[in-house]
Amino acid sequence: MHDLGPRPSRHPLPHRNAHAWRGLEVSLDVLQHEHLVALEERYSHVLVNHQLDGVLLYSGHPARHFGDDQHASFVTQGHFMHWTGLAHAAHCWLLIRPGLRPTLYFHAPDDIWHLPNTLPDEPWVNHFHVERRQEVTPPALPPGRFAVVGDVAPTMTAQWDVKINPDGLTRDLDALRVHKSAYEVACLREANQRAMLGHQAARDAFLGGACELDIQFAYLAATRQRETSLPYGNIIALNAHGGVLHYQHQAIRPEAIRRSLLVDAGYRYRGYCADITRTWPGPHANQRFAPLVEGVTALQRTLIAALAPGVSFIDLHERMHAGLADLLIEQRLVRTSAEAAVASGITRAFCPHGLGHLLGVQVHDVAGHRDEGGNLLSPPVGAPFLRLTRELQAGMVVTIEPGIYIIPMLLDAYRGNREIDWDAVGSLADHGGIRIEDNIHVTLHGPDNLTPRHE
């Protein structure tokens, strides 16, 4: 069975009463209608510019493991999800033509092995002409000039004279996802509300002595998700594991010594992703650790306050490093000037990743390295992992996630450097790292933090 994602009328969480849920549902229905009407207009403009009669968006399909009959986890292609919010609907197609009602070819085969797919009983479905199909092959196209976007092999469309994923078109469709509609912001806000319930449960489980796997279970239970519904694999990192940026395991034995917990975990609501990270000192933390967590949190809030249209995200990334240098000096991990700590690369050894990225139906959303005209904006030499290099604009939703980590393979390059207090650094090695991450809507009136602060 392909799970089409959580819906507000089906799985209410305990932090809302029935009246509040009904109000959310009604307001989302209105906002979603406006979102779809605007998408039709914008797609029509793009298609006319590319001299196309239409585009066929393919939702995608799960990949089968080699030599096996099992499939990998599957997530719908982003442009298809931008219209439908269906995160796990495989073998579906969406035909968009200027001036015509969109056609959704919905794959719902008769099947004795699995429960057939169904569309949710929600008003947005009526925006589409829906054709339910048994086949996994593409639908027939009318005469005209068409493009197909998605994970499509040429053999799938060999009977047509169509363009598959043309660069100019895909760049323009990516650009349509940069500025979020009111509906999208509402979905992202709700995803953040639900994800934070999981973070609170994870913290409580950690303080109660749980192992990484049980902390994961606490997160999933609090957010009422299963692992295949997560927008990305949760990072549940105790102690030194917090220094592995994308730590991918979950230990099954509790730690006798609990120094720290880093949780990077989200939620997908109607296709839209929350991406939140929190770090907590444990009962056995070194006395240096809590002030560092507080310092990274304060720096993050300062950077959030600076978000505004016209601000260069590269400049904000550099401000992060200046702030990290100040914090490392203040906490006596580094003995030099802030300018020297940045110039020598010391701050990059403590924080090698970028400040943040665009967020939407994909966790690392598209067009972060393109300007408004679609031109490539490569990351600067000193920040190769920065996923957002453009100026901020109203309507963007971004993550802000400064961090400090003890990563031996990066710090070893500075072992002879007396400007680093190696005894102090060594006292924190078993704590891994610190990351604080919120999801922010950039507006003309200031930053709108979608992530609750009631931890």
pLDDT in tens, 234-249: 999 999 999 999 999 9
Buried b (16+ CB within 10 A) or exposed e, 264-289: bbbbbbbbbbbbbbbbbbbeebbebb
| pLDDT computed for residue 22 by the predictor | 57
Q: Is pLDDT above 90 for 350?
A: yes
Q: Is pLDDT above 70 for 18?
A: no
Confidence at 455, pLDDT banded by 50, 70, 90: low
Q: Measure the CA–CA gap between 100 and 40, rounded to whole angstroms.
A: 9
The answer to whether 28-176 and 182-449 have equal CATH topology is no
Helix (H) or strand (E) holding 79: helix 78-84
Higher pLDDT, 18 or 341: 341
% of the chain residues with pLDDT over 90? 90
Q: Measure the CA–CA gap between 354 and 292, rounded to whole angstroms.
A: 19
Rg (CA), the chain: 23
Q: Is pLDDT above 90 for 429?
A: yes
| pLDDT computed for residue 10 by the predictor | 39
Confidence at 16, pLDDT banded by 50, 70, 90: low
Q: Is pLDDT above 90 for 11?
A: no
Residues in the annotated binding site:
264, 275, 357, 401, 437
AA identity, residue 314? I
Q: Is pLDDT above 50 for 2?
A: no
Confidence at 388, pLDDT banded by 50, 70, 90: very high
Higher pLDDT, 416 or 55: 55
| pLDDT computed for residue 158 by the predictor | 75
Judge whether 74 and 167 are in contact, CB under 8 Å: no
Q: Measure the CA–CA gap between 446 and 180, rounded to whole angstroms.
A: 16
| pLDDT computed for residue 161 by the predictor | 84
pLDDT digits (tens, 9 = 90+) for 119-142: 999 999 999 999 999 999 999 999
AA identity, residue 184? E
Domain ranges for the chain, please list them. Answer: 28-176, 182-449
Region 25-44 average pLDDT: 94
Q: Give the pairing type, strands 54-58 and 146-149.
A: parallel
Helix (H) or strand (E) holding 264: strand 260-269
**Domain 182-449 in this protein, CATH class:** alpha beta
Nearest in space to 382 (alpha carbons), one of 336, 418, 342: 342
Q: Is pLDDT above 60 for 387?
A: yes
pLDDT digits (tens, 9 = 90+) for 81-134: 999 999 999 999 999 999 999 999 999 999 999 888 899 999 999 999 999 999
- Kindly tell me the sign of the dihedral angle through the C-alpha atoms of 335, 337, 340, 345: positive
Region 418-440 average pLDDT: 97
Q: Where are the alpha helices (DSSP H) in 306-334?
A: 313-330
| pLDDT computed for residue 15 by the predictor | 53
Token representation of residue 130 = 């829906």
Q: Is pLDDT above 90 for 31?
A: yes
Residues in the annotated binding site for Mn(2+):
264, 275, 357, 401, 437
The pTM for the full model equals 0.94
Q: Measure the CA–CA gap between 135 and 144, rounded to whole angstroms.
A: 23
Confidence at 5, pLDDT banded by 50, 70, 90: very low
Fold of 28-176: Creatine Amidinohydrolase; Chain A, domain 1 (3.40.350)
| pLDDT computed for residue 12 by the predictor | 44
Instruction: State residue 334 phi and psi, 5-degree precision.
Output: -130, 140
Q: Is pLDDT above 60 for 14?
A: no
Cβ neighbours, 10 Å, residue 240: 18
Nearest in space to 406 (alpha carbons), one of 435, 387, 434, 432: 432
Confidence at 155, pLDDT banded by 50, 70, 90: confident
Q: Give the pairing type, strands 433-435 and 403-405.
A: antiparallel
Q: Is pLDDT above 70 for 430?
A: yes
Q: Is pLDDT above 80 for 172?
A: yes
Q: Measure the CA–CA gap between 258 and 214, rounded to whole angstroms.
A: 14
| pLDDT computed for residue 23 by the predictor | 60
- Kindly tell me the sign of the dihedral angle through the C-alpha atoms of 255, 256, 262, 264: positive
| pLDDT computed for residue 116 by the predictor | 86
Nearest in space to 297 (alpha carbons), one of 455, 62, 64, 162: 455
Tell me how many degrees the CA angle 427-431-437 measures, rounded to the nearest 5.
130
Q: Measure the CA–CA gap between 352 and 347, rounded to whole angstroms.
A: 8
Contacts of 64 (CB under 8 A, 6+ apart): 70, 71, 72
Long-range contacts: 280-287, Cβ < 8 Å, 24+? 280/203, 280/206, 280/207, 282/206, 282/207, 282/239, 282/258, 283/207, 283/258, 284/257, 284/258, 284/259, 285/259, 285/260, 285/431, 286/259, 286/427, 286/428, 286/431
Q: Measure the CA–CA gap between 331 and 425, rounded to whole angstroms.
A: 11
